[in-house]
A and B are shown apart, each in its own frame.
Chain A
Amino acid sequence: MLLREVEYAKPGSVAEALELLASNDGARALAGGQTLINVMKARAASPDMLVDLNGLDELKGIELAGDGTLTIGAMTTYSELMGSAEAKARPILGEVCATIADVQVRNRGTIGGNVCSNDPTNHLPPLMVAVGARMTIAGAGGEREVPAEEFFLGVYLTAAGPGELLTRISIPAGKKDGFAAVTLGADGTCIANAAASVNGAVRVAIGCVDAVPVLVTANSTEGVADAVRGANLMPPSDVHASSEYRTHLAEVLATRAAEEAAGR
């Protein structure tokens, strides 16, 4: 398919990428492109310039600190994360990435792209909220860190604003995590999903039911279903599920994810 005309820039550093994004109104960052290129085909997005982040080593790499904190570069692909010895410190990360689409998409698609596109059906936004990730955003004024709960602002909208880039994600140590989803076909798009993490209290973030992941907490896995009901979800209806059915799935999946997390 022929895309609309677009300029292409391949910066040599994050600083240069930020400058390109800030000085060109119609510029968009191109990460793995497994969503962006497709929405450009459909003309749902028509950037004037693509700033290609591929090849920027500053945005790559997975580090494991002494206290178990993982720091993951935004341009780390799902496949790289799945194959990383360091990332095994938080096993849920690789496990969830292995259920995203297919090999080819996982080979190009990136962690940063998944969270920054913030499609409500994406896997990683609820997971990042559940595990208490912290997002580092770089802009003209330097870097700032935003907790995942404050990073997701709306459909396709995050705290990484125009002229800014998510550079890395930091995730604290932990193993008691779970994830559950109902998808369109094996490893397909999520109809509803839930990520859970147990660390004293149970934290469950539910996806596909609102513009951003909905966080509920409970004292025990038994209390999760009540907590979900208490959140008064009003998910959208679409061809795959009615609002009522999604509400039902939210409760079931939140409980499943919490039980998986508690059982580890």
Chain B
Amino acid sequence: MDVTVAVNGTTYERDVEPRKLLIHLLRDDLDLTGSHVGCDTGNCGACSVILDGVLVKSCMLLAVQANGASIETVEGLSEDGELTPLQQAFNEHHALQCGYCTPGMLMSATALLRENPSPSEDEIKKALQGNICRCTGYWNIVEAVKSVADA
């Protein structure tokens, strides 16, 4: 089936099988490997992307379902090599250890801050509930998001 998606502002047209998950369209067909496959069961959130303004796990929908949609992935956050304040905060607060969950954490935190620019610590934790860090490095992740929220 023909699928047209706009990812980070670039339009792509691909012929995909209906059984292909959105994460595999992004990674395998479009070579956008920033979004990760972690658990493949919808639990870990490493594949989180923003689809038409809504945070979703891209392993939990079919690529064909994204036809016509506008998708934001971690590759689209920085502009001209300039990190966003949130990405900068992740760097400064050492909010990543192995880095595997980081793209999903960044997308979830980005979605949160758009909706609620000054979330409380509890709101941050609730918003990141769908993202699992296998290094258990949550403390610094929450600190990084808080630092941007406070700004």
Contact = CB atoms under 8 A, between A and B. Distances in A.
Interface of A: 1-8, 10, 33-34, 37-38, 41, 50, 52, 54, 79, 101-105, 107-108, 186-187
Contacts of A54: 65
Contacts of A7: 18
Interface residues of B, number: 29
Interface of B: 1, 17-21, 40-42, 45, 48, 54-57, 59-62, 64-65, 108, 111-112, 126-127, 129-131
Given A101-B130, A102-B129, A2 B56 contact: no
Contact of A1 (B40, B45, B126): B40
29 contacts: A1-B59, A2-B20, A3-B19, A7-B18, A8-B62, A8-B64, A10-B64, A33-B62, A33-B65, A34-B42, A37-B42, A37-B59, A37-B61, A38-B41, A38-B42, A41-B40, A50-B62, A79-B54, A102-B129, A102-B131, A104-B48, A104-B56, A104-B57, A105-B60, A105-B130, A107-B54, A107-B56, A108-B56, A187-B129
A31 to B, nearest CB: 11
Contacts of A6: 18-19
A5 B59 CA distance: 16
Nearest to B58: A104
A212 B103 CA distance: 40
Given A41-B40, A103-B108, A103-B130, A33 B19 contact: no
